[in-house]
Structure 1
């Protein structure tokens, strides 16, 4: 994965997981309910598209969720597509009975 040296920021005030590359901020918008994170929208500015930033952002977010024993509901279509390519992360999906 590229960008491993760039830290993921959990900006709880505005409910964003953020990655800043070359001074440009990309983010995943989320809502937290208890131990479940609803991943709503991934956004990478147009000038940064095609550089693997969205994938790095998702990967870092998943690692963060795993480290903090959180589960996720992937509402974002990019994240849903990412999970199809990387099914090992489905272990983080929240299960509702």
Structure 2
């Protein structure tokens, strides 16, 4: 799946047939905050949101940034991938 980091708009994107799925992020202090995931109805059910999250966590790791999660989808994704908990900012997510 060809996912790109649109650094201008601070979002990871996947485009198919003119539809764009995205995971929006922001930089906050020394962290990356995952804000919101949007997958158009025409693209749902293809694992695109998970692929966006995977790319976002890879980017955070490469950038040596801890992750703050505001997005409900990303929170669910972490529950399915507990190995990612080590990337979370423990001050922001003390119970994970």
Shift of 1:26: 1.0
Alignment of 1:14-53 (within 5 A): 14-53=9-48
Shift of 1:30: 1.3
Whole-Å separation in 2 of the counterparts to 1:19 and 1:89: 22
Given the two structures, how large is their TM-score scaled by the length of structure 1? Answer: 0.84
Number of residue equivalences: 92
Shift of 1:91: 1.1
Alignment of 1:51-70 (within 5 A): 51-70=46-65
Whole-Å separation in 1 of the counterparts to 2:15 and 2:57: 17
Shift of 1:23: 4.3
Q: Which runs of 5+ in 1 are unaligned?
A: none
Shift of 1:95: 2.3
The 4+ residue runs of structure 1 with deviation greater than 4 A are: none
Q: Deviations over 1:21-43 (max 9, x none)?
A: 45432111111023311111001
Q: 1:93 aligns to what? A: 88
